[in-house]
Amino acid sequence: MNFFLETLQVILLSFWYNLESLIYLVVPRKKKNISGELVLITGAGSGIGRLMAQEFAALGAVLVLWDINEEGMKETVRLLKSSGASRVHHFVCDCSDKKEVYRVAEQVKREVGDISILVNNAGIVTGKKFMDSPDSLIEKTMEVNTMAHFWTYKAFLPAMIANNHGHLVSIASSAGLIGVNGLADYCASKFAAVGFAESVGLELLATGKDGIKTTIVCPYFINTGMFDGCQSKWPRLLPILNAEAVAKKIVHAVLTDQVFLLLPKSMYFIAGLKNIMSTKQGLLLGGYLGAFNLMDTFRGRSKKQE
């Protein structure tokens, strides 16, 4: 195709895709049926992992739960069973340990079957300034929040590729789009998780595996306890998110094959601005939004809550 024709085609399709997005603001998108699909959720022993498990179970999915915290996971299983879910499997797995991820993944494939929806949700936060963070915690953060995604993809993608069917869900963070003072290792791990999921998603598309979808989730603070103590300077603009609502929105994004889900909605605007503003203006806006003091009051989850 010559330059003129290809440029014209891109302009017309761009116009159509934008119009399509506008139409979808008022017309609900078609939801896919996930009844009987095998959904694996890492970090399902608390927080949004547990809540997403409840949402997926209500849609008839078979649940495979992973967590390092057996007690929390058993509580998730109890809650699922008490609300009528019968097809629930749980495995203790330390996602920071590559060998353990591969070993438990083999066990899942043998005992339950091939995973078709993989939700990489397990996550930890150090909550210290970079120079105060022990090396061991920095390494652990990268292992749980990023490297575990590599190993779970390696374990479960082959079956998805063979069937050209599946969904990869990465629970990243708005801290994977914008750097935050006091969250250096966490931000690094979440930026990496976003880049990894986006790149593999493109790799799958480029190789014709368009039946495997990707959803990358970037929420602001959620009231699960992980970031207890942190406050929003302007809660109307950037509210602390409700965990139940977040879990519902993530599952909706999966059902409608949405690639990026940023929460709250204002995050789309803030993330977009970050890339087009001058550095000085960016710092001004960051200060206005309280971004430089977000972690000043961080306590994190108390042991009792765990």
Ligand X SMILES: NC(=O)c1ccc[n+]([C@@H]2O[C@H](COP(=O)([O-])OP(=O)(O)OC[C@H]3O[C@@H](n4cnc5c(N)ncnc54)[C@H](O)[C@@H]3O)[C@@H](O)[C@H]2O)c1
Instruction: Indicate which single residue of 62, 63, 105, 121 sits in contact with ligand X (rule: CB under 6 A).
Output: 121
Run of H or E including 120: strand 117-120
Total residues at interface with ligand X (CB under 6 A) = 29
Q: Amino acid letter at 223?
A: N
Spatial CB neighbours of 111, under 8 Å, sequence gap ≥ 6: 89
d(CA 306, CA 297): 20
201 binds ligand X (CB under 6 A): no
48 binds ligand X (CB under 6 A): yes
Stretch that binds ligand X, among 105-113, 217-225, 266-274, 287-295 (CB under 6 A): 217-225
Q: Which residue is nearest to ligand X (CB)?
A: 47
56 binds ligand X (CB under 6 A): no
Nearest approach in angstroms of CB 275 to ligand X is 20
Look up 153 and say whether it is catalytic: no
Q: Which is nearer to ligand X, 66 or 166 (CB)?
A: 66
Cβ–Cβ under 8 Å, residues 68 and 93: yes
Which residues in 249-288 contact ligand X (CB under 6 A)?
A: none
Concatenate the DSSP letters of all residues of 175-208 into one string. GGTS--TT-HHHHHHHHHHHHHHHHHHHHHHHTT
Run of H or E including 119: strand 117-120
Nearest approach in angstroms of CB 297 to ligand X is 14
Instruction: Indicate which single residue of 75, 79, 89, 94 sits in contact with ligand X (rule: CB under 6 A).
Output: 94
46 binds ligand X (CB under 6 A): yes
d(CA 285, CA 267): 13
Cis? peptide before 28, omega within 30° of 0: no
Q: Which residues of this protein are in contact with ligand X, per CB under 6 A?
A: 42-43, 45-49, 67-69, 72, 93-96, 121-124, 144, 171, 173, 219, 221-222, 224-227
Active-site residues: which are they? 186
